[in-house]
């Protein structure tokens, strides 16, 4: 319920009241604005999207077409590249691995991140500042820098070539972003609500479950999407941890496929575009949240 209300809001929440008023008085209907702006916007969009379209459309061509005219359009369109990828066990195996890793990592990041953010936002204790600093500092050290020692740790735990060896570090490395985004959300819940809840006999944990969770849902969704897309796209960790092809996630799969079938460009393009599709769909469904969540994070 609260998700839909929050989702329809524009990111700049504070302005809503005012701009509504202006909409009514100053702008009976939306104006079109400067054509130069549209031209530049379209140009920019073309630059952003064209390479992606090239990959998707290229998958509908044959290798002969691609060789004779690399930048041409499909003529005729063939779907055999896509169907052969979609019927291959390799693709679906890697797809399922990516999905399992993505969902488990997202769940872990959201649950653990929410718990610790709640403590940081709503409790007072001596080590709070140090705790927050610890997580904020984690933002500075992305996974690539820690990958060699991380590999050693995972190896000592016996989790090499195991999906858990990817899920667990991803949860740990996802926590800093989560904390940075969620703490302001949780802190913004007015103290009065908490006091009212306490007065009504709700414990702090009851308050957490019955008030905080629903009220911070927009932030939670943002964090969840970022976590899922991050996991879906992660390359360096699977590269280190996963050895056997049956455990590959899609990024590794794309790379393996494109080096294995390097002469079959059309099929590589089809495989690649199918691999990026889920993240793109996921993103376009929830894009408002990501932009809104970034707004919150930037305001700091």
Residues within window 42-101 making contact with another protein, judged by CB under 8 A:
44-45, 47-49, 51-52, 54-55, 58, 67, 69-72
Instruction: Name residues contacting another protein, limited to 109-148 (CB under 8 A).
Output: 112-113, 115-116, 118-120, 123, 125, 128-129, 131-138, 140-142, 144-148
Query: If phi over 0 gives left and psi between -120 and 50 gives alpha, with beta otherwise, what is residue 77?
Result: beta
Minimum Å gap between C-beta 206 and another protein is 9
Contact characters 179-218, another protein, x per CB under 8 A: -x---xx-xxxx--x--xxxxxxxxxx----xx--xx---
State how far the Cα of 148 lies from the Cα of 229, in Å rounded to an integer. 23
3-state helix, strand, coil in the chain (%, to 5): 75, 0, 25
Determine the interface stretch with another protein among 31-39, 80-88, 89-97, 99-107 (rule: CB under 8 A): 31-39
State how far the Cα of 109 lies from the Cα of 222, in Å rounded to an integer. 12
Q: In this complex, which beta carbon is closest to another protein, that of residue 76 or of residue 149?
A: 149
Minimum Å gap between C-beta 23 and another protein is 10
Spatial contact of 269 and 193, defined as CB atoms under 8 Å apart = no
Asked whether the CA dihedral 6, 12, 17, 19 is positive or negative, the reply is negative
Minimum Å gap between C-beta 22 and another protein is 8
Q: In this complex, which beta carbon is closest to another protein, that of residue 79 or of residue 193?
A: 193
Determine the interface stretch with another protein among 77-85, 89-97, 99-107, 173-181 (rule: CB under 8 A): 173-181
Would you give the end-to-end CA distance of the chain in angstroms? Answer: 27
> Which stretches does DSSP call E strand in the chain?
none
Instruction: Name residues contacting another protein, limited to 265-284 (CB under 8 A).
Output: 265, 268-269, 272, 275-276, 279-280, 283-284
Minimum Å gap between C-beta 83 and another protein is 20
State how far the Cα of 172 lies from the Cα of 128, in Å rounded to an integer. 19
Question: Which of 299, 267, 285, 282 has the alpha carbon at shortest distance from 98?
Answer: 282
The total of other beta-carbon atoms located within 10 Å of residue 182's CB is: 26
Candidate residues 25, 32, 87, 243; the one interacting with another protein per rule CB under 8 A: 32
Minimum Å gap between C-beta 50 and another protein is 10
Candidate residues 3, 10, 77, 79; the one interacting with another protein per rule CB under 8 A: 10
Candidate residues 4, 8, 30, 244; the one interacting with another protein per rule CB under 8 A: 30
Rounded to 5 degrees, what are φ and ψ at 211? -115, -50
Minimum Å gap between C-beta 246 and another protein is 19
Contact between 244 and another protein per CB under 8 A = no
**Residue whose pair of structure tokens reads 């990959």 in the numeric block:** 55
Q: Which residues contact 204 (CB under 8 A, 6 or more apart)?
A: 122, 194, 198
Query: Hey, is 142 helix, strand or coil?
Result: coil
Instruction: Name residues contacting another protein, limited to 223-242 (CB under 8 A).
Output: 229, 232-236, 240
Minimum Å gap between C-beta 222 and another protein is 12
């Amino acid at each position: 319920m609260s998700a839909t209300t929050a989702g329809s809001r524009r990111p700049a929440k504070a302005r809503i009241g005012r701009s509504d008023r202006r909409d009514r008085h100053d702008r009976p209907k939306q104006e079109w604005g400067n054509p130069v702006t549209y031209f530049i916007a379209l140009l920019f969009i073309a630059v952003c999207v064209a390479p992606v379209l090239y990959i998707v459309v290229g998958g509908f061509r044959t290798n002969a077409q691609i060789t004779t005219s690399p930048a041409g359009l499909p003529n005729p369109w063939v779907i055999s590249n896509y169907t052969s990828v979609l019927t291959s066990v390799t693709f679906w195996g890697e797809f399922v691995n990516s999905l399992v890793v993505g969902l488990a990592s997202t769940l872990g990041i959201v649950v653990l991140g929410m718990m610790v953010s709640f403590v940081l936002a709503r409790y007072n204790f001596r080590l709070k500042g140090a705790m927050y600093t610890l997580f904020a500092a984690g933002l500075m050290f992305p996974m690539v820098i820690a990958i060699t020692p991380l590999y050693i740790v995972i190896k000592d735990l016996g989790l090499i070539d195991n999906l858990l060896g990817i899920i667990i570090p991803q949860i740990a490395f996802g926590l800093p972003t989560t904390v940075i985004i969620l703490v302001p959300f949780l802190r913004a819940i007015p103290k009065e609500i908490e006091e009212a809840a306490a007065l009504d006999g709700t414990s702090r944990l009851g308050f957490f479950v019955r008030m905080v969770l629903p009220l911070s849902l927009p932030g939670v969704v943002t964090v969840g999407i970022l976590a899922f897309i991050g996991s879906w796209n992660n390359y360096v960790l699977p590269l280190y941890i996963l050895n056997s092809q049956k455990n590959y996630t899609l990024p590794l799969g794309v790379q393996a496929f494109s080096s294995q079938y390097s002469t079959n460009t059309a099929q590589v393009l089809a495989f690649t575009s199918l691999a990026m599709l889920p993240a793109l769909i996921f993103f376009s469904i929830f894009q408002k949240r990501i932009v809104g969540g970034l707004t919150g994070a930037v305001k700091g």
